[in-house]
Structures are given as structure tokens and as C-alpha cells.
């Protein structure tokens, strides 16, 4: 019981998902040789993920009830402190690294300002109805639930740090593109699994995800093959662009591919929600570490 309580704290406090974002982003830094001068981005991605997810579950916890939301209600003081604490350190980090973020070649970097406004807005709009013309959040608009979440994750962990790298060489364009596509497809597979887990809730709320429209079993049966093929194709182009067509590189793609396939094939909807998150979102860490180890092995 004590081990389960520790797991629930680690998962339900959203420290784990923030670590997933951090490791994914670090793999981008490692693969693309992004300079250490941009390490402030790693801190921000961790804190921003912590803030967005805690805010989401803090608000949702007073509207609905399940194991995770009940935990948030029982520990509402901690969740509130985490929300305000992460917001404080995000603002502090931006102020501390103001020149690195917003000053380039002696002038103000409006491009970075644009991304610092639009990405937080989209991230928050996923859970909260920020659109003045609609009373729905993005996650309540059927297929956008998975697509938008996958895009934001892939964009913020792959593309955005390169955008922040003002002197990024043009030669890495293909690498960034294929890494983004690979991350997008991989995270989309995880999103579909979570949609299947949320099938009853989404059906009740009228959120027409693929799982709601096609049914859980059909989504599981078709999804395992569709995502296996898509991950294999995107993975091959990723390996090719990074010159990782080596046994270690193939293993870095095939191992996560097989694990995703098995998660679809042996899907367990009644699993403890903390263990479910650890098992499924943890795939992001596995995937990122395997790519890093592949580069280390090939270049050693």
C-alpha cells in the first residue's frame, strides 16, 4: 500500500508527466546538439507541464470524480501550492533569462514573444474554454482532443526549442521535421489509448473521439496495426535523417513500436489509473532514452 501511495503521489501530482516532457525535450537537445545556453528551456518545459496539468486536474476535480480526481481533492492544498509555485518559477525563469529569450542581435525578438503567447494559450485552451466564440475547450471537440494534444507535445518538445535557438543551422531542417513527425505519431498512439480508457466519460459528454465513433474494440484492433505501420515509417525516415541506420538505431524504433502494439493488444481498461498513466505515458521516456542510447552506441 505504501508503494502504491508513493506511485499515486508521483503520478497524480503530475511530477511524472513533467519528467516525461523534460526527457523528451532533452532527447531533442541531445540529438540536435542544441547548445547548453538554451538549457533554460528544459527548466521551463518541466515547470509549464507541471502548471498546465495541475491546473487541469485541480479544476476538473471539483466537477467529476474518479481515483485521480479524488486524490486531487484530498490533496487540494498541495495541488494549489504546485500551481502557484510553478507559475512563480516560470515567471522568475523568464525574467532571469529575459535577454536569452527576447533579445537577439541587439533587438527585441518578437518571434519568440509570439510563441510564448500562442503555445500557452493553446495548451490552456485544451482544457479550458478560452475561445470567446465557443463554450467548449479543445478536448471537448471530438477528434481535436487527440490531434491538438499530440501536436502541442511534439511541437514543444521538438520544434519550439529549435525556434528558440536563434542560430540553428538550416541543415537540421529534415532532422527536425522527421523527429517531429515521429514524436507526433508516437504520442498520438498514446492519446488514442487514453481516449479508449476515457470512452465512457467521453461518450457521456458527447465528445466524439475515434474510440467513441468506432467503439473501443474496433479502435484497439485497428489502432495497433495502423500505429505500428506509421511508427515504423516515421522511424525509418528519422533514422535516415540522423544517420542512425544501424542495429542500435533499429532497436530504438522497434522496441517502442512493439511495446505500443502490445499496449493496444493487451489493453486493460480497469487498471489502476496511476499504474495506467505510469505504464502508458512512461513510453515517452522509454522512447527518448532508447534514441539517446542509440546515438551514444553508434558514435562510441
pLDDT in tens, 76-117: 899 999 999 999 999 999 999 999 899 888 889 888 999 999
β-strand partners of 104: 107
Return the SS3 of 167.
coil
Q: Give the model's confidence band at 118: pLDDT under 50 very low, under 70 low, under 90 confident, else very high.
A: very high
DSSP string, 185-216: HHHHHHHHHHHHHTHHHHHHHT---HHHHH-H
Residue 134 has pLDDT above 90, yes or no: no
User: 192 vs 69, 73, 268, CA distance in Å?
Assistant: 21, 27, 14
CA angle 135, 46, 276 (to 5 degrees): 70
Mind listing the pLDDT tens digit for each residue in 243-272? Answer: 999 999 999 999 999 999 999 999 987 888
Is 64's pLDDT higher than 80?
no
251 vs 238: CA distance, rounded Å: 13
Amino acid at each position: 500500500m505504501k508503494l502504491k501511495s508513493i506511485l499515486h503521489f508521483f503520478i497524480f501530482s503530475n511530477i511524472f508527466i513533467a519528467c516525461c516532457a523534460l526527457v523528451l525535450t532533452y532527447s531533442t537537445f541531445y540529438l540536435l546538439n542544441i547548445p547548453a545556453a538554451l538549457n533554460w528551456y528544459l527548466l521551463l518545459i518541466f515547470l509549464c507541464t507541471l502548471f498546465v496539468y495541475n491546473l487541469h486536474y485541480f479544476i476538473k476535480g471539483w466537477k467529476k470524480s474518479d481515483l485521480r480526481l479524488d486524490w486531487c481533492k484530498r490533496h487540494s492544498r498541495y495541488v494549489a501550492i504546485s500551481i502557484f509555485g510553478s507559475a512563480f518559477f516560470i515567471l522568475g525563469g523568464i525574467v532571469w533569462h529575459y535577454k536569452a529569450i527576447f533579445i537577439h542581435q541587439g533587438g527585441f525578438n518578437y518571434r519568440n514573444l509570439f510563441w510564448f503567447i500562442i503555445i500557452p494559450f493553446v495548451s490552456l485552451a485544451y482544457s479550458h474554454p478560452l475561445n470567446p466564440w465557443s463554450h467548449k475547450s479543445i478536448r471537448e471537440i471530438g477528434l481535436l482532443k487527440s490531434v491538438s494534444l499530440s501536436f502541442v507535445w511534439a511541437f514543444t518538445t521538438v520544434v519550439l526549442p529549435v525556434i528558440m535557438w536563434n542560430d540553428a543551422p538550416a541543415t537540421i531542417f529534415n532532422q527536425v521535421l522527421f523527429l517531429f513527425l515521429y514524436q507526433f505519431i508516437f504520442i498520438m498512439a498514446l492519446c488514442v489509448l487514453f481516449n479508449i480508457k476515457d470512452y465512457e466519460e467521453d461518450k457521456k459528454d458527447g465528445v466524439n473521439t475515434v474510440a467513441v465513433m468506432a467503439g473501443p474494440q474496433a479502435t484497439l484492433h485497428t489502432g495497433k496495426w495502423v500505429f505500428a505501420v506509421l511508427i515504423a515509417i516515421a522511424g525509418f525516415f528519422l533514422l535516415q535523417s540522423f544517420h542512425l541506420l544501424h542495429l542500435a538505431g533499429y532497436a530504438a524504433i522497434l522496441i517502442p513500436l512493439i511495446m505500443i502494439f502490445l499496449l493496444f493488444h493487451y489493453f486493460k481498461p480497469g487498471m489502476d489509473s496511476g499504474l495506467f498513466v505510469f505504464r502508458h505515458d512512461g513510453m515517452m521516456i522509454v522512447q527518448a532514452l532508447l534514441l539517446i542510447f542509440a546515438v551514444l552506441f553508434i558514435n562510441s
